[in-house]
Amino acid sequence: MKDAMLNGLASYLEAATNVVIDVYAADEVLTQLVMPVDIVKSVQNGVVTLNAAEQAQVVKTGQPDIAKLVVDGSVEVELVVGVDLLLDDTTIYKGGYFKITEISINI
């Protein structure tokens, strides 16, 4: 059942033309990652794994707390930093670059 739900999400993501991840501190966007066209790496055992996004420049210094997977302008999944999305540092800095190497969404 879980894999069926995730396969539906994977198909939806693969068909989308514009998928980004917005990284927030409170209500302010710190950076936006553009996801690759071949976004889905795998679906198995209740986990969909997404391929890496290109690095993006940070537009505002802050401590990320939420990341939103946005598909064609609509927020589809919210990821909690420190739970769903693990970072090397708790603060990212304006002018620097931000990259996520892999993202996994569990049900």
Pairing of strands 97-98, 56-57: antiparallel
The pLDDT of residue 94 is 97
Q: Which residues pair with 34 in a beta bridge?
A: 20
Neighbour count for residue 47 (Cβ, 10 Å): 14
Stated pTM of the model: 0.86
CA of residue 55 relative to chain centroid, distance:
12
Neighbour count for residue 99 (Cβ, 10 Å): 12
Per-residue pLDDT of the chain (107 residues; tens, 9 = 90+): 777 888 898 899 999 989 999 999 999 999 999 999 899 999 988 888 888 888 899 999 999 999 999 999 999 889 888 887 777 778 999 999 998 877 888 77
The pLDDT of residue 41 is 92
The pLDDT of residue 105 is 82
Domain that holds residue 99: 2-106
Nearest residue to 101 via CA among 67, 52, 47, 56? 52
Joined tokens for residue 34: 């553009």
Cβ atoms of 93 and 58 closer than 8 Å: yes
Domains in the chain, number:
1
